[in-house]
Structure 1
Amino acid sequence: MEDLVMAALGGDEAAVDRLLKAGADANHADANGWTALIGAARSDHAALVDRLLGAGAKVNHKDAKGMTALMLAAEGGHVAVADRLLKAGADVNHSDNKGKNALMRAAENRRMEMVDHLLRAGGNVNHADRRGKTALMRAALGGDDAMIRLLVGAKADVNQVDANGWTALICAAAGDVKVVKRLIDAGADVGRSARDGLTALKRATASGHAAIVDTLETAAR
């Protein structure tokens, strides 16, 4: 049965069709918990996703890491596949073993179109993983200004804190001044302290980012 997973992963439509007609279980999972649907979604094979869903594949099946077909499609930015999965009932806010949802996976991989698609499908922009990090915080750590603009526009909470009390602004303070300015403009609390007393200004100072230090000091006046 594992041949079905490999055939789907490789985009071999003829093999998938032949195996299904021969009685292969559309929901068989390999040692990693991958089903053919997860393989097809991961590899951006929309036609196979349709075929497998039609054969009864479970859209919300989780692999060994707690990830679903939608989450794998989100990571890869495969919007057409994600659209099919969502229409088939995929849980847009399912969390994997690390507490991340599809939106966070897409944001981490800078999949702008996918993030927008998931937001429109009801993705929780303020969902936090097991460490309390949100998509906005991850984007701030990565200096992804375009992603931050999109998330802020979707009402991401700029003052939400993670398990250590870090905000998106503290995350951004050792990176790009454009990101820092955008977060401040969106209402970020410049003086907010983490649990250990760290502030955005202290982090920027320790990192030697003079432009960010100046921006934070100006905003605090």
Structure 2
Amino acid sequence: MASSSDSEEVRVLGKWASPFSNRIDLALKLKGVPYKYSEEDLANKSLDLLNYNPVHKKVPVLVHNGNSIAESLVILEYIDEVWNNNNNHAFLPQDPYHRALARFWCKTLDDKILPAIWNACWSDEKGREKAVEEALEALKILQDELKDKKFFGGETIGLVDIAANFIGYWVSILQEIAGLELLTIEKFPKLYEWSQEYINHPVIKEGLPPRDELFAFFKASAKK
């Protein structure tokens, strides 16, 4: 696979408050790949976004030397394959079984765990009790998978850790706005410890959006 060079053009079309878009920022920073970022107004989508992602018309989109790739999990694997020599930081393990497991947990995050937590934070009073119960079940599933590892990727941040950025960072903001206690050290000590290790990793910490701005953004959304 190719390694990065000064002649390469790497662009990210994203939304600063989106955890899915942020996954791509974090992955490129972990790989040490310079890139140009374009903030998208999703209420008034740019021609670039419509041209580069005509199927879904949403962020994130990675544009590498004029070729576009959409869907955050697909982009993450592309980044790992193309810039596989950068910092010797592989997101996926070499063993095929463990690679398949990582992909399974990334898909489980997007299909089951993240929606359950999002629903709990934004549900109305009528459906909140059941939504919170489902969110707690989802977090337990994730903690059980973490076991005693520092990161889901072992000793270093891997694909599942990057995909779980919503759990590591966004959840604490949303649960505070919603007045909930979902991911706490008392309920999920191992997962909470992982979240602290994750957000305090120097590269991750640099790549996350400011907490106060995210809080204000979602707080305003909650009032609508």
| Larger helix share, 1 or 2 | 2
TM-score of the two chains, using structure 1 as the length reference: 0.27
- Compare relative contact order (CA 8 Å, sep 6+) and give the higher one, 1 or 2: 2
Larger radius of gyration between Structure 1 and Structure 2: 1
